[in-house]
Amino acid sequence: MSEFIKPELVCPAGTPASLRTAVDAGADSVYCGFKGPTNARNFPGLNFTKAELSESVKYAHDKDAMVLAAINSFPTAGRTDIWKKSVDDAVELGIDAVIIADIGMAKYVAETHPDQRLHLSVQAGASSPEAINFYVERFNVKRVVLPRILTVPEIKRVHDAIDCEIEAFVFGNIGMMAEGRCSLTNYVTGISTNMDGVCSPASHVDYEPDEEDGLTTRLGDFAIDCISCGETAGYPTICKGRYDTAHKKNYYAFEEPISLNLTRLLPDLMRAGVTALKIEGRQRSRAYIRSVVSAFRDAVDAYAAGDEPDITELIALTEGHKETQGAFKSKSWR
Amino acid sequence: MPLFAMQPILRRIVRHVAQLHPELFERLGDSCSKQFLIDAKGMPFLLLLRPDPENLMLVAKSRHAEIPYDVLVSGKFVTLLRMIDSKTDSDALFFNRDIAVTGDTEAIVALRNALDDMDATLADDVATAFGPLRGPVRASIDAANKIVGSKT
Ligand code: SF4
């Protein structure tokens, strides 16, 4: 008999085909967003039209999976109608939960669609019981997605002090900023991660090869990395670039390209009271989703049954083939 | 096979795929008018693709020609094929430097995402474009995939 309550496996999808792949690979729920600036993965060619989401919800529900709509960027003045329309559309389609970051949108959902299940996005950056309980009391938030800045014992303490479920990221891309507060891309490109929904917009990224099989990555006017022949590459984000500074040359001044992988901490997270385990990667391919979701399905089922899962395959899918347990293990991570 | 003999085959393939997957163009948005130059290493020629439904083009080009393009994608032929068919993750291929991309990054991201939303594999679509020859064509693609699959 297992000591855990089996958590919900929350998986990403950037396209209808990815959503079907995630559901077929064993996702309990899939999170996705509409095309445009209302979600935090606003990449070219990605995301759902209303009609696509409608079909996808039907597909998932037919297979007993849930669909969560990420409407989790921050509307600026004069643009709130776009976010409200996304919320209305998602509710109309019978979405299982709406994931919101902006406090105004949380109010809108609570007042306009009081029966709609509401989740608080990681982008809201709510990490203390006081902040989380505020959202629970004022807007009837049922689940908080925790920022990736807490250790497992801290998550346990938060769990014991709040009146809603906890969703925690367990795998995928990780930035060093408290979510929802990074302005690096905005500084360089004028396009905001938090308000336009895209970090390092592809329109501003340039890869420049050289004669020796090296590669210079540029974002806007800035070179953010020079990769030499044979070296692995990472995402073109400022936080994972290499820079010359006064005391050190060509080094990862913020953080290394690395992926979060909490497979080994899953039992601890389950014991800490985490209800849902989230995989990052709405921008990733179906091949990635198929592999990661199946691996986590097996891992969660194995732990829940008291067995040791085989987790070796996941490392091949990590950024730069490097993994970390981030702040979940220790605050000394950088 | 000389380049001129390839052009009608390529035209047939691209028209067939476009007919089967009109939703692909919606995902591509403005990037459909871009010219994608595909350098499949080991192939004697380059491929130039313009996935514009109004002005569709897939042609073979000599490796010695000066070819204007918006995006250049390069990698081994079978690596590219497996990526298009979502058998391997394109980001992992990029991190690993198995594929390289230069030029209009927005256009290649849009194309990658549009292709990734296709449920059928390109190998299937290419094979069906050849009507009665679909069996042998499919078998050749599978054989090529197997050789690389066993090495990766
Ligand atoms: S620059 Fe890094 S920390 Fe900032 S939003 Fe982008 S990925 Fe996150």
Residue A1 has pLDDT above 60, yes or no: no
Residue type at A154 in one-letter notation? E
Q: Which of A117-131, A218-232, A286-300 has the lowest mean pLDDT?
A: A218-232
Q: Say what the pLDDT of residue B126 is.
A: 75
DSSP run (H or E) holding A103? helix A103-112
Chain B residues at the A interface, defined by Cβ less than 8 Å, are 26-29, 31, 83, 86-92, 94-97, 100-102, 105-114, 116-119
pTM score: 0.91
Do residue A202 and residue B109 have CB atoms under 8 angstroms apart?
yes
ipTM, two decimals: 0.88
Please name the member of B31, B94, B116 whose beta carbon is closest to the beta carbon of A15: B116
**C-alpha–C-alpha distance, residues A325 and B101, integer Å:** 31
Does A237 touch chain B if contact means CB atoms closer than 8 Å? no
Distance CA A200, CA A239 (A): 10
Contacts of B89 in chain A (CB under 8 A): 284-285, 287-288, 291, 317
CA of A259 to the centre of ligand 1 (A): 13
Residues A252, A242: Cα–Cα separation, whole Å: 4
Contact A252, A242 (CB under 8 A): yes
Q: Strand A97-100 and strand B57-62: pairing?
A: unpaired
Q: What is the DSSP string of chain B?
A: --HHHHHHHHHHHHHHHHHH-THHHHHHGGGGGSPEEEEEETSSEEEEEE--TTS-EEEEEETTS----SEEEEEEHHHHHHHHTTSS-HHHHHHTTSEEEEE-HHHHHHHHHHHHT-SS-HHHHHHHHTGGGHHHHHHHHHHHHHHHHHH-
Question: In this complex, which of A201, A208, A227 lies closest to B102 when CB atoms are compared?
Answer: A208
Q: Domain limits of chain A? A: 8-175+258-329, 184-252
Contact present, A266 and A295 (Cβ < 8 Å): no
The residue among A198, A200, A256, A201 whose CA lies nearest residue A232 is A256
pLDDT value of residue B152: 39
Of A20, A10, A70, whose CA–CA distance to A286 is shortest? A20
Give the pLDDT of residue B140: 67
Give the mean model confidence (pLDDT) for residues A64-75.
97
Share of chain B above pLDDT 90, in %: 47
Of A166, A255, A201, A188, nearest to A42 (Cα)?
A201
Per-residue burial over A38-62, b if 16 or more Cβ lie within 10 Å, else e, is bbbbbbbbbbbbeebbeebbebbee
Residue A91 CB-density burial (10 A; 0-12 exposed, 13-18 middle, 19+ buried):
middle
pLDDT tens-digit readout, B51-102: 999 999 999 999 999 999 999 999 998 898 888 888 888 888 888 889 999 9
Contact A240, A251 (CB under 8 A): no
Q: Work out the number of other CB atoms within 10 angstroms of the CB of residue A82.
A: 14
What average pLDDT is seen over chain A? 91
Write out pLDDT tens, residues A149-190: 889 999 999 999 999 999 999 999 887 667 778 899 999 999
CA A237 to ligand 1 centroid distance, Å = 6
Q: Which CATH class is domain A8-175+258-329?
A: alpha beta
Chain B hits for A234, CB-CB cut-off 8 Å, are 95
Percent of chain A whose pLDDT exceeds 70:
94
Please tell me if the CB atom of residue A192 comes closer than 6 angstroms to any atom of ligand 1. Answer: no
Domains of chain B: 3-151 (3.30.1050.10)
Q: Do A288 and B114 touch (CB under 8 A)?
A: no
Place of tokens 């984000």: A237
